Amino acid sequence: MVKYTNYLMLLPGLLLCVFFLVIPLGIIIRIGLAESVSTAEFEIHGLTLQNYVRYFTSPQTIDILGNTFGTALITCFICFLVAYPFAYFLTFYIENQKIKSYIISLLMVPFLIDWNIRTIAWIPILGDKGIVNSTLMSLGLIKEPISLLFGQAGLYIIWLQTYVLFMMFPIYLALNRIDPDLIQAAKVLKAPPHRVFYDVIFKLSLPGVVCGWIFVFVSTLGDFLTPGLWAGGFQTLGLSISTFFGKNVWPYACTLSTVMIVIALAALYILLKMVDIKKLIYES
């Protein structure tokens, strides 16, 4: 009796996942293998690998995948550089628990602010007449305004602002779980500070670092609006998907989406190999 109630309670989550996650992904994979789809009555014709062949033999593919992975990994790296010291200082140098949780909540604000507002907010700072350009010009360092916003710099800044929390939070959790006695032991045994940091603290925080990289990576992978509007004619996988979808070339759009989903699943697999998330949540 109790058992059935348990499954009954899982039912809403299960239905949600099946209808709005599993079925849509299944359809994407199926249409990615189709020859054509009639848009009017939605009939799927044929079963073929020709889309994949076309995709992987296309000369642009290397560039687009390069751009996609390149921007995503650079964003991860920038976020990591900013977030690791942040998480470290927050863990070891701020004593007050309340202030800690307020600081974490503060970092959530940009992620939860409307995307449009978050991006146009950079115009007064990075735009042609923005603070950075006018400062540099009045200092005489540059003569013409440099295009900060509609280039890759703008993209990285916006992504850093949005996703830094995704990097910071897992690292912070990992650092918090390090047994202070271990650090103390290393110090007592006269390890030099850089070895205490690298061999004890950094290595023990690696699961959090991997978590952070993967969170930021998949978030930037799925975000096609920011590179589309703010990075000026620069192709990524997400942008190609939206272009082909917009032109109603569904099979090809779905093929590209499948590639993207596979990349994301690979990231998830690495994550699960590195960190036992289940333990973190329901088996502690």
By CB under 8 A, the residues from 220 to 249 that bind another protein are 221-225, 238, 241-242, 245
Closest to another protein by CB, 235 or 242 = 242
The one segment of 144-152, 174-182, 189-197, 263-271 that binds another protein by CB under 8 A: 263-271
Tell me how far, at minimum, the Cβ of 51 lies from another protein, in Å: 15
Restricted to residues 30-59, the positions that interact with another protein (CB under 8 A) are: 31, 42
The token pair at 6 is 């348990």
Angle, helix 50-57 to helix 250-274, in steps of 10 degrees: 80
The one segment of 46-54, 174-182, 195-203, 256-264 that binds another protein by CB under 8 A: 256-264
The token pair at 57 is 């033999």
Q: Which of 52, 111, 150, 234 binds another protein (CB under 8 A)?
A: 111
> Cβ contacts of residue 83 below 8 Å, gap of 6+?
164, 167, 168, 171, 212
State how beta strands 43-45 and 36-38 pair.
Answer: antiparallel
The answer to whether 96 contacts another protein (rule: CB under 8 A) is: yes
Restricted to residues 125-154, the positions that interact with another protein (CB under 8 A) are: 125, 127, 129-131, 134
Restricted to residues 163-202, the positions that interact with another protein (CB under 8 A) are: 164
Restricted to residues 55-84, the positions that interact with another protein (CB under 8 A) are: 82
> Cβ contacts of residue 173 below 8 Å, gap of 6+?
208, 280
Closest to another protein by CB, 186 or 250 = 250
CA angle (108, 111, 115) in 5-degree steps = 155
3 state DSSP class of 1: coil
The token pair at 56 is 């992987």
- Total number of residues that touch another protein (CB under 8 A): 90
Closest to another protein by CB, 125 or 178 = 125
> In which element (H, E) is residue 105 found?
helix 97-111
